[in-house]
């Protein structure tokens, strides 16, 4: 199989193949046709006269459609084939593939064309962990089509494969004996349909209407977003790619009434994630605010209602992850849903308030009053595991629950300077910032919409007390930054990490301490020139290609930039934006989940992280939030404030028809911040204007 993977997707359904369009998955290989957390096709290999084909090129037509141009092997370095092959594939509850073979010769040709097909029906967790199946397989021919099936008690999944041209179908695939005249062609249309009982079979819609419907849907999506004009062409390409990828990642869970929220990322996280969906909705608010509304409603529907140790569920807690696969169905994994994250619940209130500030939609705030109050209550009643007013986490599901329930959820992400790992429970610093922000925002909603001034006063008092204690207990005096966490004994877990930037975003940092925090964020231990590392160079666990211990995460940097703007560090925010957007250019406009935390002076381009999700929702949303931060877009009552600070390399920037409670507004800026090698801002100034559309 080629090393170049080709992906087409539509929300929860996606196909990953090699650059010939073939699928030949191993137990741990995330290639195949996936829908609702199950691999419905693990083998899909085209041969002509028993030979595999070679790729000429791949056309990335749309996120849901691609085209492969192929030739038979020639045995020489020169391509002089008399045949060529085109495979055009689009995904929608399975996929539809048009296979065309062209004869460029002067004589007719007889060919044996075959597609080998199989499915392991692997749960995504089985793919990740190489687990064995426990059910039984079946493959049978039905009315000229091939049905692949898997049964385990009441859990049933099947894949139906059919062709428009007559085929000889067996349990391993479809074969065609064809003759193509001189300068002629032969075509067949292949349908691969994923079928799940209780999901309407996931039948593929009629071929002719499907493509038109998806194209029209994408056109509406792009037409509703602000238009951008910019002197710097790479930013225009990155912006367009972000909007298209965000459209591709839209996922309509059953509780959403047909509306969409962002799935977290391909291939492992194509489902509803509390944290990821909230962060992405925050990033996209100035561009597609409807995502936030759906996210809030859907997460509210699944809000915790009971104490359940297996799922780490509490009343009021917002889910971490919702899955539909086999391991979840048999409770071998707790994800139906799983609640093991400590940040999504306060962030839910943050998103609700920010959505109202941006859109003026008080009806949704009234509709979700119970859910928001329950989330606020969870912070005090269930998250304070030590009884000292901080948000802590410790999994109750010891076997399959997540150890770290913050956004840096890998096993070694929370450490002391010397590399030791603290015991549980843990109270990471950014969780306290989110709780502080949630209380202040909850107070605003209580006073403004719910007409409960008593609750508002209580929340404001709690927030002020939390901020006072936090700035005392988490502050590392000798080096002047905030500790990564507190351990079970209340001692500082004193590694220096990017979490300090989230503290600026939340507003919990005393103004007197902000300058020192910024000095660390922009200093050489954290800032690479491409972006801020997750963990500072010099910490014992630092690794520039470690998942949460030294890589650069674009999403992380977008919220750091927003936090810098909140405290008035405009040029520093522009510097962060310049580094990340420069990196995006090297990734063809699609920022990955993470990339290597090497110094920019060491590399001419950002170093790829080998297993990064791409596209990933909050990386896709990163350029959008960076645009907001650079332009200084902030809602103020019925108006949008524009206060730009742009890198000089961007030149003139126009963002037109920004939606919000003000209707549609245009924003303008011109780059004045000189960035020295992507590392230091040299000047501060920017022109600005806002015009009501």
Query: What is the per-residue pLDDT for 663?
Result: 96
Cβ atoms of 427 and 485 closer than 8 Å? yes
pLDDT given for residue 80 in this prediction = 58
User: Which residues, at least 6 apart from 198, have a Cβ–Cβ distance to it below 8 Å?
Assistant: none
- Mean pLDDT (the chain, rounded): 91
Question: For 600-613, what is the mean pLDDT?
Answer: 84
CATH pick for 6-214 out of 2.70.98.40, 1.10.3210.10, 3.40.309.10, 3.40.50.150: 2.70.98.40
Nearest alpha carbon to residue 286 among 661, 658, 557: 658
Per-residue pLDDT tens for 151-171?
999 999 999 999 999 999 999
SS3 279: helix
**655 neighbors 578 (Cβ within 8 angstroms):** no
Give 470-514 pLDDT, tens digit per residue. 999 999 999 999 999 999 999 999 999 999 999 999 999 999 999
Q: State what percent of residues in the chain have pLDDT above 70.
A: 93
- The pLDDT, as a whole number, for residue 682 is 54
In 562-638, where do the E strands start and end? 634-636
Which is nearest to 247 in space by CA: 271, 218, 281, 272? Answer: 218
- Is pLDDT of 645 > 90? yes
Per-residue model confidence (pLDDT) at position 688: 46
Task: Give the separation between CA 622 and CA 287, rounded to whole angstroms.
Answer: 12
DSSP state, residue 419: S
d(CA 333, CA 276): 20
Q: Of 620, 497, 671, 650, whose CA–CA distance to 249 is shortest?
A: 620
C-alpha distances out from residue 156 to 196, 490, 647, Å: 7, 50, 55
Burial (CB < 10 A; 0-12, 13-18, 19+), residue 438, is: buried
In our burial notation (b when 16+ CB lie closer than 10 A, e otherwise), range 457-494 reads: ebbbebbeebbeebbebbbbeeeebbbbbbbeeeebbb
Q: Which residue has the tokens 């993977």?
A: 5
Q: Where are the beta strands (DSSP E) in 359-515?
A: 427-428, 475-476, 481-482, 485-486, 492-493
Q: Which two tokens stand for residue 250?
A: 């839209």
- Report the CATH fold assignment for 225-692: Glycosyltransferase (1.50.10)
CB 285 within 8 A of CB 358: yes
Selected residue with higher pLDDT from 436 and 35 = 436
pLDDT (0 to 100) of residue 677: 61
Work out the average pLDDT over 249-266: 75
pLDDT for position 37: 87
Q: What is the pLDDT of residue 199?
A: 56
Q: What is the mean pLDDT of residues 77-97?
A: 84
3-state SS of the chain: helix, strand, coil percent to 5? 30, 30, 40
What is the chain's alpha carbon radius of gyration, rounded to the nearest angstrom?
A: 26
Can you give the pLDDT at residue 255?
64
Q: Are 600 and 529 in contact (CB under 8 A)?
A: yes
Q: In what order do the strands lie in the sheet with 109-118?
A: 23-24, 43-48, 109-118, 173-180, 168-170
Edge-to-edge strand order for the sheet containing 485-486?
Answer: 427-428, 485-486, 492-493
Mean pLDDT of 103-116: 96
Beta carbons within 10 angstroms of residue 77's beta carbon: 5
Q: For the residues 378-395, what does the mean pLDDT come to?
A: 97
Mean pLDDT of 402-418: 97
Two tokens, residue 62: 């749309």
Burial of 641-664, coded b for 16+ CB within 10 Å and e otherwise, reads ebebbbbbbbeebbbeebbbbbee
pLDDT at 69 over 70: yes
**132 or 302, greater pLDDT:** 302
Contact 87, 56 (CB under 8 A): no
Cα–Cα–Cα angle for 543, 544, 546, nearest 5°? Answer: 60
pLDDT-derived band at 256 (thresholds 50, 70, 90) equals low
Instruction: Give me the pLDDT at residue 685, please.
Output: 38
- Mean pLDDT, residues 563-587 taken together: 97
Q: What is the mean pLDDT of residues 602-622?
A: 87
pLDDT of residue 198: 65
Q: pLDDT (tens digit, 9 = 90+) per residue, 540-567? A: 999 999 999 999 999 999 999 999 999 9
Lowest mean pLDDT among 57-71, 136-150, 604-618, 629-643: 604-618
Distance of CA 409 to the CA centre of its chain: 15
Could you tell me the pLDDT band of residue 605, with boundaries at 50, 70 and 90? confident
Residue 681: which H helix or E strand, with range?
strand 680-681
Residue 138, SS3 per DSSP: strand
What secondary structure letter does DSSP report for 498?
T
Residues in a beta bridge with 14: 9, 34
Assign 248 a pLDDT band (cuts: 50, 70, 90): confident
d(CA 319, CA 328): 15
CA atoms within 13 A on the CB side of 353: 23
- In angstroms, the Cα distances linking 236 to 45, 577, 599, 605, 655 are 38, 14, 26, 20, 11
- Rounded average pLDDT over 52-81: 80
pLDDT of residue 344: 98
Domain boundaries, the chain: 6-214, 225-692
pLDDT band at 681 (very low <50, low <70, confident <90, very high): low
């Amino acid at each position: 199989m080629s090393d170049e993977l080709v992906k087409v997707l539509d929300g929860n359904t996606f196909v990953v193949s090699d650059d010939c369009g073939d699928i030949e998955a191993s137990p741990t290989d995330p290639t195949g046709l996936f829908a609702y957390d199950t691999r419905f096709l693990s083998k899909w290999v085209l041969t002509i006269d028993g030979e595999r084909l070679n790729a000429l090129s791949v056309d990335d037509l749309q996120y849901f459609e691609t085209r492969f141009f192929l030739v038979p092997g020639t045995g020489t370095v020169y391509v002089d084939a008399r045949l060529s092959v085109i495979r055009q594939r689009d995904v929608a509850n399975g996929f539809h593939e048009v296979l065309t073979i062209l004869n460029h010769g002067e004589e007719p040709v007889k060919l044996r064309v075959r597609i080998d097909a199989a499915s392991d029906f692997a749960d995504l967790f089985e793919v990740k962990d190489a687990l064995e199946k426990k059910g039984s397989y079946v493959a049978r021919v039905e009315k000229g089509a091939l049905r692949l099936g898997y049964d385990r008690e009441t859990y049933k999944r099947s894949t139906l494969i059919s062709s428009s041209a007559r085929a000889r179908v067996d349990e391993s695939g479809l074969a065609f004996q064809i003759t193509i005249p001189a300068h002629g062609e032969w075509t067949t249309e292949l349908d691969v349909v994923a079928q799940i009982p209780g999901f309407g079979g996931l039948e593929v819609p009629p071929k002719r209407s499907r493509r038109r419907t998806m194209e029209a849907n994408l056109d509406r999506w792009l037409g509703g977003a602000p238009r951008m004009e910019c002197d710097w062409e790479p930013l225009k390409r990155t912006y367009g790619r972000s909007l298209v990828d965000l459209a591709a990642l839209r996922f309509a869970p059953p509780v959403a009434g047909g509306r969409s929220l962002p799935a977290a990322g391909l291939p492992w996280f194509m489902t509803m994630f509390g944290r990821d969906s909230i962060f992405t909705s925050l990033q996209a608010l100035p561009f597609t605010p409807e995502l936030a509304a759906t996210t809030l409603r859907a997460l509210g529907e699944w809000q915790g209602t009971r104490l359940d140790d297996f799922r780490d569920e509490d009343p009021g807690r917002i889910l971490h992850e919702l899955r539909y696969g086999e391991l979840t169905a048999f409770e071998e994994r707790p994800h139906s849903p799983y609640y093991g994250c400590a940040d999504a619940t306060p962030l839910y209130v943050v998103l609700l308030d920010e959505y109202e500030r941006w859109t003026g939609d008080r009806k949704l705030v009234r509709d979700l009053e119970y859910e928001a109050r329950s989330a606020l209550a969870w912070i005090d009643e269930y998250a304070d595991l030590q009884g000292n007013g901080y948000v802590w986490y410790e999994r109750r599901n010891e076997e399959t629950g997540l150890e770290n329930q913050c956004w840096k959820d890998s096993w070694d992400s929370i450490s002391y300077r010397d590399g030791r790992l603290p015991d549980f429970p843990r109270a990471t610093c950014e969780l306290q910032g989110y709780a502080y922000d949630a209380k202040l925002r909850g107070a605003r909603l209580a006073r403004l919409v719910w007409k409960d001034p008593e609750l508002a006063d209580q929340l404001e008092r709690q927030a002020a007390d939390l901020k006072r204690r936090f700035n005392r207990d988490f502050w590392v005096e000798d080096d002047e930054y905030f500790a990564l966490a507190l351990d079970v004994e209340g001692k500082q877990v004193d590694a220096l990490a990017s979490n300090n930037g989230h503290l600026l975003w939340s507003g919990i940092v005393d103004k007197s301490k902000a300058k020192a925090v910024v000095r660390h964020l922009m200093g050489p231990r954290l800032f690479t020139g491409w972006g801020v590392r997750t963990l500072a160079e010099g910490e014992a666990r630092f690794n520039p290609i470690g998942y949460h211990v030294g890589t650069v995460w674009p999403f992380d940097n977008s919220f750091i930039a927003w936090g810098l703007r909140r405290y008035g560090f405009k040029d520093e925010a522009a510097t962060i934006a310049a580094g990340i957007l420069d990196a995006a250019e090297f990734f063809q406009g699609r920022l990955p989940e993470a990339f290597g935390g090497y110094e920019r002076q060491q590399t001419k381009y950002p170093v790829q992280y080998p297993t990064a999700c791409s596209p990933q929702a909050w990386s896709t949303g990163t350029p959008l939030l960076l645009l907001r931060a650079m332009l200084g877009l902030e809602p103020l009552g019925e108006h949008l404030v524009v206060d730009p600070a742009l890198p000089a390399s961007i030149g003139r920037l126009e963002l037109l028809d920004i939606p919000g409670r003000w209707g549609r507004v245009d924003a303008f800026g011109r780059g004045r911040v000189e960035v020295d090698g992507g590392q230091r801002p040299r000047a501060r100034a920017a022109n600005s204007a806002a015009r009501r559309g």
